[in-house]
């Protein structure tokens, strides 16, 4: 075999392996898409050809499932969590990035460490406290605990973006008589906007997919979408067609959001640790 042939063969093997990998990665997702449009009989068969139906999507929003309410809860909880987390994280990230402070490293390490605290550890005291305060099964309670996982992420991520903005423009504006607050509002915020959007989307996805907190804190009024999945485990077995329809409603909006920020996705997850 000549060198050229060998290279061609190697490339063919690689492409085959890539195709197999992507097939395995996508098949569970595609299977949910298919099942969501199957009726309750077809879903119990492996067939690929069937008459598609929108019935499942109608059913999940109707009684007794009321997925619409869960959708509203998930949206409000994730949105408010983000709206609290991002402004607070932005001002903190700016201060961490531009100033030296007493106890700065200690604060940054603490923020980093809290992100790795297992959710089960912090939810136990919150459950007790919320029970006493009457915050169980409320959106407010969920928003508070979601901040625990979202906040450290947001601070580190936004700090990474602000670190990347050159300091010269800010200094020039200060020399021209702008105040620090004006500098932040007129120079830093516009330049950091893509970073803030990325962090916001990231935190939204984390809150939206959050499971353990919602499982423990909610039972009727403020149930979110991931917990709603458990509704479709009926006594006669899992209702796969409805589960799949609900699955699509949970994952498709997040797919769209994730694709919007795809270039920052990994960077955001590792907070600049890997680069």
Report 131-170 residues binding other proteins (CB under 8 A).
Answer: 144-145, 147-148, 151-152, 155
Q: Which residue among 1, 2, 4, 45 contacts other proteins (CB under 8 A)?
A: 45
Q: Min. distance of Cβ 35 from other proteins in angstroms?
A: 7
List C-alpha distances in Å: 103 to 46, 112, 154, 272. 60, 14, 20, 21
Residues in 226-245 that interact with other proteins by CB under 8 A: 226-227, 229-230, 238, 240, 243-244
Is 107 one of the binding residues for other proteins (CB under 8 A)?
Answer: yes
Is 205 one of the binding residues for other proteins (CB under 8 A)?
Answer: yes
List C-alpha distances in Å: 50 to 38, 40, 47, 206, 240. 7, 12, 7, 35, 16
Q: Min. distance of Cβ 13 from other proteins in angstroms?
A: 10
Q: Which residue among 9, 12, 62, 124 contacts other proteins (CB under 8 A)?
A: 124
User: Could you tell me which of 227, 222, 229 has the C-alpha nearest to residue 246?
Assistant: 229
Residues in 22-41 that interact with other proteins by CB under 8 A: 22, 24-29, 31-32, 35
Between 10 and 54, CB nearer to other proteins: 10
Q: Min. distance of Cβ 133 from other proteins in angstroms?
A: 13
Q: Which residue among 82, 89, 239, 245 contacts other proteins (CB under 8 A)?
A: 89
CA angle 76/82/85 to nearest 5° reads 135
Q: Min. distance of Cβ 188 from other proteins in angstroms?
A: 11
Between 64 and 259, CB nearer to other proteins: 259
> Candidates 1-9, 15-23, 61-69, 191-199 — which segment interacts with other proteins by CB under 8 A?
15-23
Cite the DSSP H helix spans in the chain. Answer: 3-36, 55-61, 67-98, 104-114, 119-133, 139-163, 168-175, 180-183, 189-209, 212-217, 225-228, 240-260, 265-270
Q: Min. distance of Cβ 165 from other proteins in angstroms?
A: 16
Q: Which residue among 17, 54, 167, 172 contacts other proteins (CB under 8 A)?
A: 17
Quick note: the x/- pattern for other proteins over 69-88, rule CB under 8 A, is ---------------xx-xx
Q: Min. distance of Cβ 176 from other proteins in angstroms?
A: 17
Is 112 one of the binding residues for other proteins (CB under 8 A)?
Answer: yes
Is 197 one of the binding residues for other proteins (CB under 8 A)?
Answer: no
Enumerate long-range contacts of 114-120, CB under 8 Å, 24 or more apart: 114/148, 114/152, 115/149, 115/152, 115/153, 115/156, 119/149, 119/212, 119/213, 120/212
**In angstroms, how far is CA 202 from the centroid of its own chain?**
5
141 burial type by CB count under 10 A (0-12 exposed, 13-18 middle, 19+ buried): buried
How many residues form the binding site for other proteins (CB under 8 A)?
99
Residue pair 146/205 in contact by the 8 Å Cβ criterion:
no
Residue pair 156/112 in contact by the 8 Å Cβ criterion:
yes
Q: Min. distance of Cβ 248 from other proteins in angstroms?
A: 10
Residue pair 64/129 in contact by the 8 Å Cβ criterion:
no
């Amino acid at each position: 075999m000549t060198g050229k042939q060998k290279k061609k063969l190697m490339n063919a093997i690689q492409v085959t392996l890539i195709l197999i990998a992507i097939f395995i990665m996508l098949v569970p997702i595609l299977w949910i898409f298919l099942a969501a449009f199957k009726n309750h009989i077809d879903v119990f068969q492996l067939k690929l050809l069937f008459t598609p139906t929108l019935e499942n999507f109608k059913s999940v929003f109707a009684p007794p499932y009321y997925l619409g309410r869960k959708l509203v809860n998930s949206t409000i909880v994730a949105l408010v969590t983000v709206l609290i987390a991002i402004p607070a994280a932005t001002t903190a990230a700016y201060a961490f990035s531009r100033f030296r402070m007493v106890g700065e490293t200690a604060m940054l390490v603490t923020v980093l460490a809290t992100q790795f605290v297992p959710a089960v550890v912090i939810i136990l005291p919150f459950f007790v406290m919320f029970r006493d305060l009457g915050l169980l099964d409320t959106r407010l309670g969920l928003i508070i605990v979601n901040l625990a996982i979202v906040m450290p992420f947001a601070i580190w991520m936004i700090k990474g973006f602000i670190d990347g903005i050159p300091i010269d423009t800010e200094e020039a504006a200060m020399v021209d008589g702008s105040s620090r607050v004006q500098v932040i509002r007129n120079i830093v915020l516009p330049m950091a906007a893509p970073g803030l959007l990325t962090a916001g989307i990231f935190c939204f996805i984390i809150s939206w997919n959050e499971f353990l907190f919602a499982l423990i804190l909610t039972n009727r009024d403020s149930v979110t979408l991931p917990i709603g999945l458990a509704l479709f485990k009926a006594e006669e077995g899992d209702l796969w067609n409805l589960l799949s329809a609900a699955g699509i409603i949970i994952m498709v909006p997040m797919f769209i959001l994730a694709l919007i920020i795809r270039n920052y996705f990994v960077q955001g997850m590792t907070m600049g640790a890997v680069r």
